[in-house]
Amino acid sequence: MSQFKKIAIANRGEVAVRIIKACEEMGIETVLLHSEADIGSRAYRMATKTICIGPAPTAESYLNIEANINGALAMGAEAIHPGFGFLSENADFAEAVEKSGLKFIGPSAEAIRALGDKVHCKALAKQAGLPLVPGYEGENQDVAHLVKEAERIGYPVIVKAAAGGGGRGMKLIKSSAEAVELIESAQREAQSAFGSPKVFLEKYLDRAKHIEFQVFGDSTGHVIHFFDRECSVQRRHQKIIEEATSPSLTDELRRKMGEAACAIAKLGKYKNAGTVEFLLQDGEFYLLEVNTRLQVEHPVTEEVMGVDLVKMQILTAQGDFVHDPKQIRAPRGHSIECRIYAENPYMGGVPSTGLLGKVSWPEGPGRRYEYGFEKGDTITPFYDPMIAKVIVWDENRPRAIQKMIRVLRDSVVFGVHTNIPYLIEILSHAEFVNGKMTTRFIETYFADALKAPEMGELEKEISAQVLKALRQNESSDVLVSSPWMTYWRGV
């Protein structure tokens, strides 16, 4: 197949920027399929062409299959890259894209149905004899039936969206008293985020680690893995810090889990990038789910493996990427990724929206930044509050941790609150430093909001002067750029 000349991107934010950069390196033009709320965003400015596909609500834009495909066709694109989230794991979307004559940059609709649907994936894994967390994956979605199944499994039970990921549509049920409310809430959130209210239940493992393997099926269907990532640091089931490789695996355990990851991918006749997720507890691992898409944390794998997964995705969709065994090596060094969210760490992480003032990411060896927003952009309340990813690489894990802390301390974001101080506290915690953290790490040690730092005399004086200036001129734009109003300091 000849090289794509123009690729449409059915996504937004930092992943849209990531795809645009990969296309630029490959000499491919891009079309950003965006909502009204993202006009003027960084991806909007970087894309070769843009087309608005609907208003801010995701159901009317980013989750609208017809609007995405019509936009891509209207702009003369040959393929659609879905990024992650939104329609990236929607088999109907992948199928509709192919039927329209466009190429879907991702696995086939059949593979998404087999593996991306968490319920079907578990059925397939059972056939292959892979270890699974006890649960319920049946078709009966009546709430009363799901409650009965939850009681059979035994609390605590976790309810998850069958078509989802990223923590959306996921609720932890600790007792029968809260089961009905949380199941209904999960179904509503699953419908809103993924277009399907279907959920399933799992026994909640309270001392587990979250380990995942990056798999990749080439153009011939040959599947290999690019080793593992540890993603145990999660808040409300959403990852905050990821690293490659995991500090928790022995060589033997890594080999067994890698083989299991490839086995389930091969069963799904998988092509393109995907991630097989496991829970690890007391030396035993259980298949959690397969994410049939590019993963948010893919950069840490790229850093330790020396690969470009987005480029490989595009080449595979073109039909001309085949794994070269000579190019596949063992992981080198250690990489950590932190997700930067626009939220207030001193108020329990409530979202922080507004106009970004100065934004600065400190340059240096082993540092990588992926961001969808910069100075002058507005963080809106419509979408996920992640504004950037900070990725570091160093020779070993202790050095990588220290480098990440230095980078975060030197990063500057004016205009909105960020979780940067929260991340620094996590990275400095002894349990994280020793690699002992589990999925309950945040719940155990960081359940409360951070205590706001005390202001020094100089800071108090500056604050007083700023407030005085504001009172003298309430229309002044000092309000949106004042570091003492919104910027984290003292880290």
Q: Catalytic amino acids?
A: 293
Q: Which of 111, 115, 190 is nearest to 146 (CA)?
A: 190
Say how far apart CA 259 and CA 224 lie, in whole Å: 9
Say how far apart CA 397 and CA 402 lie, in whole Å: 9
The pairing of strands 49-54 and 29-35 is parallel
Say how far apart CA 382 and CA 186 lie, in whole Å: 19
Q: With beta carbons less than 8 A apart as the criterion, state whether 384 and 16 touch.
A: no
Q: Which of 253, 200, 91 is nearest to 261 (CA)?
A: 253
DSSP label at 115?
Answer: I
Say how far apart CA 90 and CA 98 lie, in whole Å: 13
Q: With beta carbons less than 8 A apart as the criterion, state whether 43 and 16 touch.
A: yes
Strand partners, 223: 217
Q: With beta carbons less than 8 A apart as the criterion, state whether 102 and 30 touch.
A: no
Say how far apart CA 211 and CA 252 lie, in whole Å: 15
| 3 phi-psi bin (left φ>0, alpha ψ -120 to 50, beta other) | beta
Cα dihedral 432, 437, 440, 441, rounded to 10, equals: -10
Indicate the helix (H) or strand (E) that contains 360. Answer: strand 359-360
CA–CA distances in Å: residue 286 to residues 76, 234, 283: 44, 18, 10
Say how far apart CA 379 and CA 37 lie, in whole Å: 10
Say how far apart CA 120 and CA 170 lie, in whole Å: 18
Hey, what are 150's tokens? 């939850």
Say how far apart CA 469 and CA 471 lie, in whole Å: 5
Write the CB contacts of 282 (distance below 8 Å, at least 6 apart in sequence): 207
Classify the C-alpha dihedral 176-180-183-186 as positive or negative.
negative
